[in-house]
Chains A and B, each alone.
Chain A
């Protein structure tokens, strides 16, 4: 019984995480935790950007110079 509840809660957590990530990626914001984990693992010598820096970096990348990726469709 407790297990079933646990797995239900896990599933809910996964689902809400997915919706949240999806909504953020729609406006060009990737997952910060994944980014930080990636930098720590592949470049242990580098300090990852802070969450705020990451946010601004992505904001600029979406609308930034020489980049039309933020361009939405007709």
Chain B
């Protein structure tokens, strides 16, 4: 035995992963099987989990299984409950996995599959999983307190308030971008719109059932809801062809935008049991089921990747989003590589449910690896479809025009041979009137998923069903996030406003609640409307802002972790969090700077504003604006976006400065200065 027996099998896994990665990276001119990507990813995860996460657990954190966790100390059977680690893993994974890891990689596929894949793997191992694991550890040692409270305690009050304010801004951008994805997927799609609208009465029916008929029977009510949902998808196909109902459910992006704003307002003041909770069941179970289904589909079908490993768009001329590989690839793929939002989850319910410190590694580091795997699958799904279809779906209408002929010509000019037939046929296969400029990631992912799953079940005849299933699945949990997010936002805002006007803090009073909700909805609605009416597709503006803000939050969370490592007097190991923090700061600051000051109007907000402002001064009107009023609106929007990017930059710089000062103080101190809750042995039962 000895070293060979201990490390031999892992060395084999490592060698297999390296070989798979080599095949994926060096194969040219011949289509690579997607399974090699999966093998490369899984081997990377196994090695990283076995060695790197163990190193962090043993040396940086020195996890102590005999230490009392908050769940044991405060066990109340409700919020604090020692929970089986597999069960808790499921809870944590369901909480962190959302639309992010599904959309980012799809957008990043415009540069080919290789840059995205390498960033997802390197990012998750060295940054994303480290952040989730470290924040979980820090919160677990401090009674499961939230990120804001932790920053206030370890860094100071001002950084705490800055971080809270930053979180609020991110939520607004997140809600806008999520809603935009839904609008892009449902515009001019009666089938999709009908099924998504049908979820509202279905959820309400479920809500009434579990409120009054059989409370707590989640399983049966979810099955009931699922069956109704499937019927809605099937019936949606007839709506699509119906001469009267079809046009009734056909809406433009702007109409859907207003409907979503109205929906967000009403849904977030309804009682939770009526709409939010039941739809939460549907979206959660459908999400897990679809992820498992997609994994099985890829393993079973073993599709070939048709997207090249690297496209020429690494130079920043891509039609899907603008900007060069550095820094914009690292902003585009946030969730799946490293996502600041996870810091909120890792300091939310999960640390209150951990039974023993030894479980933190599996849940924190392992949970993030799992989400990263979802991102890899999304990348695969985007890369198995014909690149010509990919670029037809994701390029802006300004480039493609609106007819299959103009789109085919434009995509062929990009370097991907397309014919009008291919575009018309693909739209027909998935049961849509058109696939041109369906930006936002969700429709592309749906086509990829339909392609994979229909190869396994149902063949081409079922493709339209699977396409709308995938759209529904994404829209469902995005709407749940919009609803829950607006609520969370409203509570945050009431807290913030309550500092100035105490009566605002009453979250059960009608006037402050409705006022705060209206403010939140108008804030994200503003960005949503701006995105929907953007000639470049909206995603081009909002997704980088979202990426920057999400990575910024990750940098803030990792700064906190670095400070805690210094305060524990383990600065020797601080590189574990310093490396990802520095990398994220470089990426967010460069991207933020370019978004504001780049001379290219496709990237820089101010350059874009100047172009419209100078045209206005000459009395000209540039598309898509139709009059001077819309022109000045565009200029105003650009300046707001620039101001937002500037605020994110200021936030990162401020927190980094506070972090460095706190580290220096801790370094000079001659003792441990971290503020952990007292360690006590586990009480004997």
Binding site for B on A (CB under 8 A): 18, 20-32, 34-36, 38-39, 42, 48, 51-52, 54-74
Please determine whether B97 and A73 come into contact, CB atoms closer than 8 angstroms. yes
- Please tell me the number of chain B residues within 8 Å of chain A, measured between CB atoms: 61
Q: CB-nearest residue of chain B relative to A59?
A: B277
The CA of A27 and the CA of B286, in the complex, are separated in Å by 12
Q: List 28 A-B contacts (CB under 8 A).
A: A21-B84, A22-B86, A24-B218, A25-B90, A25-B91, A26-B90, A26-B288, A28-B349, A32-B216, A39-B77, A51-B216, A55-B210, A57-B78, A59-B272, A63-B272, A63-B487, A68-B146, A69-B348, A69-B349, A70-B484, A70-B488, A71-B481, A72-B95, A72-B484, A73-B100, A73-B335, A74-B100, A74-B339
State whether A61 and B345 are in contact (beta carbons under 8 Å apart), knowing that A18-B86, A22-B91, A25-B87 are contacts in the complex: no
- Contacts of A29 on B, CB cut-off 8 Å? 216, 218
Binding site for A on B (CB under 8 A): 75-79, 81, 83-84, 86-88, 90-91, 94-100, 146, 174, 178, 210, 215-216, 218-219, 272-273, 276-277, 280-281, 284-285, 288, 334-335, 339, 341-342, 344-345, 348-349, 353, 477, 480-481, 484-485, 487-488, 491-492, 495, 507-508, 546, 550
Please determine whether B94 and A26 come into contact, CB atoms closer than 8 angstroms. yes
State whether A59 and B273 are in contact (beta carbons under 8 Å apart), knowing that A23-B285, A38-B77, A74-B178 are contacts in the complex: yes
Q: CB-nearest residue of chain B relative to A67?
A: B491
Please determine whether B348 and A68 come into contact, CB atoms closer than 8 angstroms. yes
- Contacts of A52 on B, CB cut-off 8 Å? 215-216
Q: How far is the CB of B489 from chain A (nearest CB, A)?
A: 9
By secondary structure, the A interface counts as helix
Shortest 7 CB-CB distances between A and B: which pairs? A35-B77, A74-B100, A22-B90, A55-B216, A38-B77, A26-B94, A68-B488
By secondary structure, the B interface counts as helix
Q: How far is the CB of B79 from chain A (nearest CB, A)?
A: 7
Q: How far is the CB of B553 from chain A (nearest CB, A)?
A: 10
Q: How far is the CB of A32 from chain B (nearest CB, A)?
A: 8
- Contacts of B210 on A, CB cut-off 8 Å? 55
The CA of A5 and the CA of B90, in the complex, are separated in Å by 29
The CA of A27 and the CA of B484, in the complex, are separated in Å by 13
- Contacts of B484 on A, CB cut-off 8 Å? 63, 70-72
The CA of A24 and the CA of B284, in the complex, are separated in Å by 10
Q: CB-nearest residue of chain A relative to B335?
A: A74
Q: How far is the CB of A20 from chain B (nearest CB, A)?
A: 8
The CA of A29 and the CA of B90, in the complex, are separated in Å by 13
- Contacts of A69 on B, CB cut-off 8 Å? 348-349
- Contacts of B284 on A, CB cut-off 8 Å? 26-27
Please determine whether A27 and B280 come into contact, CB atoms closer than 8 angstroms. yes
The CA of A5 and the CA of B362, in the complex, are separated in Å by 32
Partner of B78, one of A18, A61, A73: A61
Q: How far is the CB of A41 from chain B (nearest CB, A)?
A: 10
Partner of B276, one of A25, A63, A66: A63
Q: CB-nearest residue of chain B relative to A24?
A: B218
The CA of A55 and the CA of B550, in the complex, are separated in Å by 33
Please determine whether A74 and B98 come into contact, CB atoms closer than 8 angstroms. yes
Please determine whether B87 and A35 come into contact, CB atoms closer than 8 angstroms. no
The CA of A66 and the CA of B490, in the complex, are separated in Å by 9
The CA of A30 and the CA of B88, in the complex, are separated in Å by 10
- Contacts of B348 on A, CB cut-off 8 Å? 68-69, 71
Please determine whether A23 and B335 come into contact, CB atoms closer than 8 angstroms. no
Specify which of A18, A56, A64, A73 lies most central, judged by the most chain B CB atoms within 10 Å of its CB: A73
- Contacts of A71 on B, CB cut-off 8 Å? 344, 348, 481, 484-485, 488
The CA of A31 and the CA of B277, in the complex, are separated in Å by 17
Please determine whether B99 and A74 come into contact, CB atoms closer than 8 angstroms. yes
The CA of A24 and the CA of B485, in the complex, are separated in Å by 21
The CA of A65 and the CA of B492, in the complex, are separated in Å by 10
Q: How far is the CB of B450 from chain A (nearest CB, A)?
A: 24
Q: How far is the CB of B242 from chain A (nearest CB, A)?
A: 35
Please determine whether A65 and B77 come into contact, CB atoms closer than 8 angstroms. no
The CA of A60 and the CA of B508, in the complex, are separated in Å by 13
Specify which of A21, A42, A68 lies most central, judged by the most chain B CB atoms within 10 Å of its CB: A68
Q: How far is the CB of A49 from chain B (nearest CB, A)?
A: 9
The CA of A39 and the CA of B219, in the complex, are separated in Å by 25
- Contacts of A31 on B, CB cut-off 8 Å? 81
- Contacts of B86 on A, CB cut-off 8 Å? 18, 22
Q: How far is the CB of A59 from chain B (nearest CB, A)?
A: 5
The CA of A29 and the CA of B285, in the complex, are separated in Å by 14
Q: CB-nearest residue of chain A relative to B100?
A: A74
Partner of B491, one of A26, A61, A66, A73: A66
- Contacts of B273 on A, CB cut-off 8 Å? 56, 59
Please determine whether B98 and A73 come into contact, CB atoms closer than 8 angstroms. yes
- Contacts of B218 on A, CB cut-off 8 Å? 23-24, 27, 29
- Contacts of A63 on B, CB cut-off 8 Å? 272, 276-277, 484, 487
- Contacts of A73 on B, CB cut-off 8 Å? 95-98, 100, 335, 339, 341-342, 344-345
Partner of A66, one of B91, B335, B495, B550: B495
- Contacts of B96 on A, CB cut-off 8 Å? 73
Q: CB-nearest residue of chain B relative to A71?
A: B488
The CA of A66 and the CA of B69, in the complex, are separated in Å by 24
- Contacts of B288 on A, CB cut-off 8 Å? 26
Q: How far is the CB of A53 from chain B (nearest CB, A)?
A: 9
Q: CB-nearest residue of chain B relative to A36?
A: B77
Please determine whether B215 and A56 come into contact, CB atoms closer than 8 angstroms. yes
The CA of A27 and the CA of B94, in the complex, are separated in Å by 8
- Contacts of A66 on B, CB cut-off 8 Å? 491, 495, 507
Q: CB-nearest residue of chain A relative to B505?
A: A66
